Structure 1
Amino acid sequence: MTEARLRSFVAVADTGSVRAAAQRLYVTESAVSAAVAALSRDVGVPLVERDGRGLRLTPAGAAYAGYARRVLGLLEGGRAAARSAADPARGSLRLAAVTTAADQLLPELLASFRERLPDVDVALEVGPSRQVWGSLAAYRADLVLAGRPPAGVDATVLARRPNELVVVASPAVAARFALDATPWVMREPGSGTRATAEAYLAERGAAPPRLVLGSNGAVIAGAAAGLGVALVSRDAVGAHLADGRLVVVDAPGMPLDRPWHAVAGTTVTPTTRLFVRHLLDAPGWTPA
């Protein structure tokens, strides 16, 4: 059982085809097929099967895939920890951030961090809350910037920053806002903001129409265009509020206090600590 076999199998599991897996890994299709076949022999049961023109995981493959991802994450984390221990200023840092944090908090932080420590190898993954916490749990990220870590994730909160969630809308929509009737523009399932909005409405027994858009930017643009109201971080709509494209809606129980968290796993590498120290120099961030 080799790392190359595990990577080929995970790529097939993620993409559903040998061709797409080969393109992701920059190898030939025959190399991917051979690696997956060899891994199936190592495990002792078939891990994939034909599904029309593509492939799908067998029940055994589906059970094995999560373990394979964690093993790969541990191998990557081990390499990162070793490089970091040898020379933190030349180590690697695997960041994962939810979309709003990546858009609003990270650009200036990363630019100043790279200026201070140009030899650190930084990789950034951006996705919804479910994805970034999954990356931390599977050892694919050294540090997550998101809301509160969910139950069941081994996490070490290293820093916090205030984050206020507000309901916003175009002035025309805000003027006729009704909790049960005005449409809500929402993020996709798996988003922490989406889950918060759903919980907020459920707590009040409200069931307004919902329009799901695929990104934080699309939600903000949709609200500004008059499609409905949206629950967003105030950090994400400062310019829209300043120029009047959006206004804060006087919704019951708002605003919500949902601080940003900088969260590592159970092991914190020296390079990760360098980034957290840099983060704590930025306005608003405080130690956990």
Structure 2
Amino acid sequence: MFASPDLPAAATWGRLRTFLAVYDTGSVRAAAQALQVTPPAVSAAITALEIALGTTLFGKSGRGIVATDSGEIFAGYVRKLLGLLAEAAGAVHDADRGRVRIGAVATASEYVLPALMATFARAHPGVELSLSVLTRGELFARAADHVFDIALAGRPPRGAGLVTAARRANRLVLVGRPGLVEDPLTTPWLLTGIGSGTRDTTLSLLSRLQAAPPLLTLGTSGAAVAAAREGLGVTLVHEEAAREHLAAGELVAYDVPGTPLDRPWHVCTSQEPTSATRLFVAHLCDPEQVGGAAFHTRSRPKG
């Protein structure tokens, strides 16, 4: 069956949001709760889209539902459409009255962004800011779908369609409690969660060193640092996440070949950022506004 010519009329903002909620949650009931509507309203929205598309979008799987092949394909387009519509809604406003949707990896959201967002909010109170925290892979996938105006993480993957608008120096250092071990490759290494760029870098480093220490997954950088302070092992972590503990002598940096690693922070945007997004990037790069936390705009490679 082919899609009905009435698809544009059927694919309203509300129905597309409903479809994506069902797709992400795998449940009509969960989607209804998230959207604060009734389950029959969710089912009706999905049915309307299926009739207009001439295909089935979901099928039953146990007690839940899963997307069909058609549903998987449609989800990619829907995410882009909603992202672009949200971007357009922000783009039509002047810079000082727009909005900036920020996506960041966990460490950046905890140790880099709070102070920067606070100074920006004080300087530009009319701009609406939002922050979402995702793993590196999810972050850049969503940013490519225009779900975010800014992505803050490491270098964007090639072909992501993103531009590095600004960068700031950053290092990964191996830290642990003082006097923990003579050889850090013989003690447990504390890892962040699956999907974390820092975790992948840690495992890659151990592979290059042909080392096989015990591994313990803690989830977040904050949890890994806390565990390292308690003497559970060592952890490769963004220097900013351990700086205060290093300065206080609660942690020390341990040397292994290949460390520390340079991993600059990248502020990434679309090819045509909104005026509010450009204003936010300019703020990040202004030492008078953010002091030593300032980014720089030298060299703008495309992702």
- Please indicate, yes or no, whether the TM-score normalized by the shorter chain is above 0.5: yes
Partner of 2:259: 254
Q: Is the 8 A contact 1:172 1:226 kept in 2?
A: no
How much identity, in percent, do the aligned residues show?
46
Partner of 1:164: 171
Q: Is the 8 A contact 2:184 2:234 kept in 1?
A: no
CA change 1:119–1:101 in 2 (3 A) is same
Is 1:26 the equivalent of 2:36?
A: yes
Is 1:69 the equivalent of 2:79?
A: yes
- The size of the alignment, in residue pairs, is 283
Q: Is the 8 A contact 1:10 1:69 kept in 2?
A: yes
- Looking at structure 2, the residues matched to 113 and 184 of structure 1 have their Cα atoms a distance apart, in angstroms, of 37
Q: What's the Cα RMSD here?
A: 1.4
- Looking at structure 2, the residues matched to 98 and 219 of structure 1 have their Cα atoms a distance apart, in angstroms, of 15
Partner SS state of residue 213, structure 1: strand
Give the stretch that moved more between structures: 205-214 or 116-125.
205-214
Q: CA deviation at 1:33?
A: 0.8
Is 1:185 the equivalent of 2:190?
A: yes
Q: CA deviation at 1:207?
A: 2.4
- Looking at structure 1, the residues matched to 295 and 130 of structure 2 have their Cα atoms a distance apart, in angstroms, of 22
- Looking at structure 2, the residues matched to 227 and 150 of structure 1 have their Cα atoms a distance apart, in angstroms, of 33
Return the TM-score normalized by structure 2. Answer: 0.89
Q: CA deviation at 1:59?
A: 2.2
CA change 1:178–1:247 in 2 (3 A) is closer
Partner SS state of residue 51, structure 2: helix
Q: 2:49 aligns with which of 18, 35, 39?
A: 39
Is 1:139 the equivalent of 2:139?
A: no
Task: Please list, as runs of the form range in 1=range in 2, the aligned pairs for 1:1-288 lying within 5 A after superposition.
Answer: 1-83=11-93, 87-173=94-180, 175-179=181-185, 181-281=186-286, 282=290, 283=292, 284-288=294-298
Partner SS state of residue 158, structure 1: strand
Partner SS state of residue 205, structure 1: coil
Return the TM-score normalized by structure 1. Answer: 0.94
Return the letter of the residue paired with 1:157.
T
Partner SS state of residue 21, structure 1: helix
- Looking at structure 1, the residues matched to 230 and 141 of structure 2 have their Cα atoms a distance apart, in angstroms, of 34
- Looking at structure 2, the residues matched to 199 and 217 of structure 1 have their Cα atoms a distance apart, in angstroms, of 21
- Looking at structure 2, the residues matched to 202 and 63 of structure 1 have their Cα atoms a distance apart, in angstroms, of 36
**Which residues of structure 1 form unaligned runs of 5+?**
none
Partner SS state of residue 92, structure 2: helix
Return the letter of the residue paired with 1:217.
G
1:71-117 Cα deviation digits (max 9, x unpaired): 1111111212122xxx1100111111111111111111111111111
Q: Is the 8 A contact 1:91 1:121 kept in 2?
A: yes
Return the letter of the residue paired with 1:96.
G
Partner SS state of residue 257, structure 2: coil
